[in-house]
Amino acid sequence: MNFSEVFKLSSLLCKFSPDGKYLASCVQYRLVVRDANTLQIRQLYTCLDQIQHIEWSADSLFILCALYKRGLVQVWSLEQPEWHCKIDEGSAGLVASCWSPDGRHILNTTEFHLRITVWSLCTKSVSYIKYPKACQQGITFTRDGRYLALAERRDCKDYVSILVCSDWQLLRHFDTDTQDLAGIEWAPNGCVLAAWDSCLEYKILLYSLDGRLLSTFCAYEWSLGIKSVAWSPSSQFLAVGSYDGKVRILNHVTWKMITEFGHPATINNPKIVVYKEAEKSPPLVLGRLAFPPPRAAAGPLSSTESKYEVASVPVSLQTLKPAPDRANPRIGIGALAFSPDSCFLATRSDSVPTAVWIWDIQKLRLLAALEQLSAVRCFQWDPRQARLAICTGGSKVYLWSPAGCVSVQVPGEGDFQVLSLCWHLSGDSLALLSKDHFCLCFLETEQGVGTAFGQRGDHT
Amino acid sequence: MGDWMTVTDPGLSSESKYISQYTSETKMSPSSLYSQQVLCSSIPLSKNVHSFFSAFCTEENIEQSISYLDQELTTFGFPSLYEESKGKETKRELNIVAVLNCMNELLVLQRKNLLAQENVETQNLKLGSDMDHLQNCYAKLKEQLETSRREMIGLQERDRQLQCKNRNLHQLLKNEKDEVQKLQNIIASRATQYNHDMKRKEREYNKLKERLHQLVMNKKDKKIAMEVLNYVGRADGKRGSWRTGKTEARNEDEMYKILLNDYEYRQKQILMENAELKKVLQQMKKEMISLLSPQKQKPRERADDSTGTVISDTEEDAGELSRESMWDLSCETVREQLTNSIRKQWRILKSHVEKLDNQVSKVHVEGFNDEDVISRQDHEQETEKLELEIQQCKEMIKTQQQLLQQLATACDDDTTSLLRDCYLLEEKERLKEEWSLFKEQKKNFEKERRSFTEAAIRLGLERKAFEEERASWLKQQFLNMTTFDHQNSENVKLLSAFSGSSDRDNPTVHSRPRQKKPHGAPSGSPVCMSKLTKSLPASPSTSDFCQMRSCVSEHSSISVLNTTPEESKPNQVGRECTNQKWSVASRPDSQEGGYSGRSSTYADSHVEKDDLP
């Protein structure tokens, strides 16, 4: 495992291009585009103000930089560095900006969700979409880029509009039987739309592309409901994480629940491998102790090593007690992610913030649990294989695969606190983001990785 | 008797009355007193005959008295005292023979009466003691009744209190329910109100939004604009198309195409899956048929009609269905047949497997039981054997130790004697004499000891027999008291638990024969020998012995303790009565057990003292 040198970064804005060739990162008002392999700077763009959001177009030709404070969007072309485009939303303000899947339109949401403006880069035409709903996930495109589903709110009722992306024509418009629609998401095959209600009610509705209601699922009533939703890449399963600390898996044939994954605080089943991160300070070498301690040694986190130990069951995980008088209680399943082959599901229960649970979808049971020393910030699956990268805000990055677990110290001066991470398309490298730096982690080729995991696998 | 003689009224009828009076008077007196009286009565009778009769009959009134007696006797059915008179005028002669006969008969009667009296008195005594006993029992039972009544009252009181509490709780529950209902109503009303408010607010919000929209958007805001260097081409290279009705239709078409594709894809998948499942089903069916066919004969032979017919059915079905063409038919036509046949076969298979399971389990259970029983017996025998062996070995070791010590001491004696020999030969002689004397004494003691041990063994055997008897009796008693079963089992458990506390102390019943053994059969001689030879390191057996003894006595006391809490347990009113009875039965024996332990220790110490020269 190799690490690149550390580059500057602001606002955690660092993204690989969809074709995997480039890496865009922001430093204040500058946008830096590097080669993803060599990390040489390919282009450098300067925006008018601090960049708050960047997004690659689907064809990797353009990058949009949103400057929400100024109500501005600046678009840059990679092929033509001199080409530029600036969209000013004026007094209407700007809260969100995104590309349409064709990479030639930009959807800007104005303040107060008054409307969504669709700007075209090809023609002068401007389209407006009225009544968008201000919710968790109100816009979703199908994977093939043909359709856009949009959550709307009119006259105290929730609606979903399905638009054709090619000419922004309305294809379907239907009301949803929800109190307060919280989110919508297309299945990866683009034929089923999942819509779920706000956390006050457990309700998930499944609509066909043509607007028919396929099924409704409600696990329970009178309690806080859905917190997170994820489709499996094969569109076969829909995982619904809820505030009761359970993940329910629905199937795509009957849309009934197949199974229920509870997240108990104690794991008793000896079949489940529980990896426990254990910290140990390295043995002090007298010769290395210099009088002014080097900066690397000064940080307490960097001086300690950590490794995984296979804990013997029963294991009790650290749980947080939620404060009952606070809003947004730290309970329920906050994050869900299917592996690219749909074989594994990684979940995080917010009441057990230090643990990541990995479920075997083929056997429908818990496969492994990882208990970290600190709360899990973010995890993401390798887009190519069943390999999960986890970061906890410390100076380490953790990888899980069915063969085992590793924790890797990020080298470098000072403390590199990994707050977020994102995989390269090929799964060969991983961008690690800290508050104001980022670096790339290059994973070895298959054989090297195999041996690395093999060593760890001895513990299992 | 004398009293009776002085009675002026000479009615024989009064005799029995007097006797009864007499016996009632002598009720409390022991029988010895009675016999004395009887003895007394016979002697003064002969002495005072003359004076006695003179009171009744004088020279003058012989005739009258004779006639009177005759009259009296005849009325009682005795033959007349007079000879049969030939004529009426002739004066009747006194028949001496008859008089004597009468007297004899009277005497016999008298003796009989005395005997009867004695019997009655003893019976009376018995009855009296019985009465006492019953009175005691009655008193006890009365006490019990009283206590149980008190308990009952207490329980009733408690019951009443609990009922009161229950009522209160019910009331509370009802209140709570009401409260919940009220709260639910409140929640519902609040929810509706909230929704209403929300809607109102949202409407306002929408109005404001609309207004804002108008204000912001319709102002021809010059700022809202896009600056582009030049428009870029579309990603697909096509030109943008006009929006017409056609495009709408095309969009619809495309959408349906996508949906259709998806459904087709899914159908294909399902078909594939179905085909695979069918294949599996067919294979399973074939295998089932092949598996079941060899067993088909058997159930038929057993005249198991139902299964036989089922099998024939399935065979036919199988014959039909095994044709490949059937599998290609759509499910609807084949489904019923298929499912039916599979179900039937499955049922057969299931019953078969269950049968097999049953057999296996039966065999297993039987085998296990047999093994278990055998092993247990074997185990017990083996342990007994081993224990015996250990005992023997221990004894052997002891004797050997003693012999060794003896040898050593003898050797010592020899050396000392040799040393003394230098000074006094006479003394040596004397010592030798003493030695022989000691030996003789020792022999005597040994003899005595043997006799003692024999006696002890006999005693032990007797005791054992007695205890067995008692145990059986107790068992019977226990069995009779069915209500007691679980308590009994507890008792047994206690016993067994305490038996398991140390391996040396077996259950009391087992330990008893062992108690006898030490001062019985073997170790008497070594003990006394050790004393005789004055070897200071006293053999450890004795001290161990004492300890064990004390242990045993402790245990016996424990057993007493074990029984007592159960007696004092006033569980139920009805049960307690029987409980008490049982305790009465059991207590003496437990005490006896304690005593027996102690007495044996005394005996043992006594024997040891005797051993000392």
pLDDT tens digits for range A307-317 = 888 888 788 88
In terms of phi and psi (left: phi > 0; alpha: psi -120 to 50; beta: otherwise), the region of A255 is left
- Which residue is associated with the tokens 């917190």? A227
Backbone angles phi, psi at B179, to 5 degrees: -60, -45
**Cβ-Cβ contacts under 8 Å, A153 against chain B:** 202
**CA-wise closest residue to A402 among A382, A378, A428:** A382
Looking at the partner chain, which of B213, B232, B258 has a beta carbon nearest the beta carbon of A115? B213
List the single best residue of A62, A117, A143, A191 to mutate versus B (max B Cβ within 10 A). A191
The mean-pLDDT minimum among A302-316, B251-265, B494-508 falls in: B494-508
**Contact call for A92 and B258, based on CB within 8 A:** no
Highest average pLDDT, of A356-370, B70-84, B243-257, comes from A356-370
Contact B578, B567 (CB under 8 A): no
List the single best residue of A114, A152, A173, A234 to mutate versus B (max B Cβ within 10 A). A114
Backbone angles phi, psi at B253, to 5 degrees: -55, -45
With 70 as the cut, is the pLDDT of residue A284 above it? Answer: no
**B80 contact partners, CB below 8 Å, separation of at least 6:** B70, B73, B74, B95, B98
With 90 as the cut, is the pLDDT of residue A75 above it? Answer: yes
List the single best residue of A75, A99, A167, A235 to mutate versus B (max B Cβ within 10 A). A167
**CA-wise closest residue to B559 among B524, B534, B595, B530:** B595
Looking at the partner chain, which of A89, A164, A167 has a beta carbon nearest the beta carbon of B224? A89
**Beta-ladder partners of A421:** A432
Nearest CA in chain A to B210: A114
Determine which helix (DSSP H) or strand (DSSP E) holds B116, and give its type and residue range. helix B96-217
Determine which helix (DSSP H) or strand (DSSP E) holds A200, and give its type and residue range. none
**Contact call for B234 and A90, based on CB within 8 A:** no
Contact A131, A152 (CB under 8 A): yes
- C-alpha–C-alpha distance, residues B608 and A357, integer Å: 79
Over the stretch A8-51, which tens digit does the pLDDT of each residue have? 999 999 999 999 999 999 998 999 999 998 899 999 999 999 99
Calculate mean pLDDT across residues B445-451.
92
- C-alpha–C-alpha distance, residues B403 and B530, integer Å: 9
With 70 as the cut, is the pLDDT of residue B192 above it? Answer: yes
**Contact call for B240 and A122, based on CB within 8 A:** yes
Over the stretch B131-170, which tens digit does the pLDDT of each residue have? 999 999 999 999 999 999 999 999 999 999 999 999 999 9
pLDDT grade for B88, boundaries at 50, 70 and 90 = low
- State whether residue B273 is helix, strand or coil: helix
Residue predicted with more confidence, A455 or B378 = B378
Above 0.85 for ipTM, yes or no?
A: no
List the single best residue of B199, B251, B260, B267 to mutate versus A (max A Cβ within 10 A). B251
User: Which pLDDT score is estimated for B119?
Assistant: 95
Q: Tell me the two tokens of residue A323.
A: 């404060």
Domain boundaries, chain A: 1-130
Calculate mean pLDDT across residues B593-597.
41
- State whether residue B559 is helix, strand or coil: helix
Looking at the partner chain, which of A87, A130, A167 has a beta carbon nearest the beta carbon of B226? A87
Over the stretch A374-417, which tens digit does the pLDDT of each residue have? 999 999 999 998 999 999 988 889 999 998 888 888 887 778 89
CATH fold for domain A1-130: Methylamine Dehydrogenase; Chain H (2.130.10)
Nearest CA in chain B to A62: B232
With 70 as the cut, is the pLDDT of residue A349 above it? Answer: yes
pLDDT grade for A345, boundaries at 50, 70 and 90 = very high
User: Which pLDDT score is estimated for B500?
Assistant: 41
**Cβ-Cβ contacts under 8 Å, B236 against chain A:** 102
User: Which pLDDT score is estimated for B63?
Assistant: 80
User: Which pLDDT score is estimated for B414?
Assistant: 59
**Beta-ladder partners of A56:** A63
In terms of phi and psi (left: phi > 0; alpha: psi -120 to 50; beta: otherwise), the region of A184 is beta
Q: Tell me the two tokens of residue B165.
A: 């509490």
- C-alpha–C-alpha distance, residues B500 and A316, integer Å: 39
Highest average pLDDT, of A13-17, A89-93, B254-258, B294-298, comes from A13-17
Residue predicted with more confidence, B517 or A345 = A345
Work out the angle at residue A314's Cα, subtended by the Cα atoms of residues A310 and A319, and round it to the nearest 5 degrees. Answer: 90
**Beta-ladder partners of A139:** A150
Q: What percent of chain A has pLDDT over 90?
A: 55
With 50 as the cut, is the pLDDT of residue B320 above it? Answer: no
Looking at the partner chain, which of B209, B221, B229 has a beta carbon nearest the beta carbon of A84? B229
**B341 contact partners, CB below 8 Å, separation of at least 6:** B285, B313, B314, B317, B318, B321
Other beta carbons within 10 Å of B70: 21
- C-alpha–C-alpha distance, residues B266 and A252, integer Å: 10
Provide the pairing of β-strand A420-423 with A157-164: unpaired
Is residue B243 less than 8 Å (CB to CB) from chain A? yes
In Å, how far from its chain's centre is CA B510?
A: 19
Calculate mean pLDDT across residues A254-264.
92
Calculate mean pLDDT across residues A250-255.
91
User: Which pLDDT score is estimated for B605?
Assistant: 41
With 70 as the cut, is the pLDDT of residue B127 above it? Answer: yes
Q: Tell me the two tokens of residue A266.
A: 């104690």
The mean-pLDDT minimum among A146-155, A236-245, A360-369, B585-594 falls in: B585-594
In Å, how far from its chain's centre is CA A43?
A: 26
- C-alpha–C-alpha distance, residues B519 and B516, integer Å: 6
Over the stretch B375-427, which tens digit does the pLDDT of each residue have? 677 888 888 999 999 999 999 999 888 888 888 766 555 555 555 555 567 77
pLDDT grade for B482, boundaries at 50, 70 and 90 = low
- C-alpha–C-alpha distance, residues A64 and A106, integer Å: 9
- State whether residue A265 is helix, strand or coil: coil
- Angle of the B245-301 helix axis to the B305-321 helix axis, nearest 10: 140
Is residue B244 less than 8 Å (CB to CB) from chain A? no
Residue predicted with more confidence, A229 or B526 = A229
pLDDT grade for B206, boundaries at 50, 70 and 90 = confident
Q: Tell me the two tokens of residue B194.
A: 């909230």
**Cβ-Cβ contacts under 8 Å, A155 against chain B:** 206
Other beta carbons within 10 Å of B42: 12
Q: Which amino acid is at A96?
A: A
Calculate mean pLDDT across residues A276-282.
78
Average pLDDT for chain A = 87
A:B CB pairs within 8 Å? 107
**CA-wise closest residue to A190 among A217, A210, A213, A176:** A210
- C-alpha–C-alpha distance, residues A442 and B415, integer Å: 99
Q: Which amino acid is at A113?
A: H
B333-337 contacts, C-beta under 8 A, 24 or more apart: none
Backbone angles phi, psi at A23, to 5 degrees: -135, 120
Residue predicted with more confidence, B377 or B44 = B377
Calculate mean pLDDT across residues B45-72.
69
Calculate mean pLDDT across residues B228-250.
72
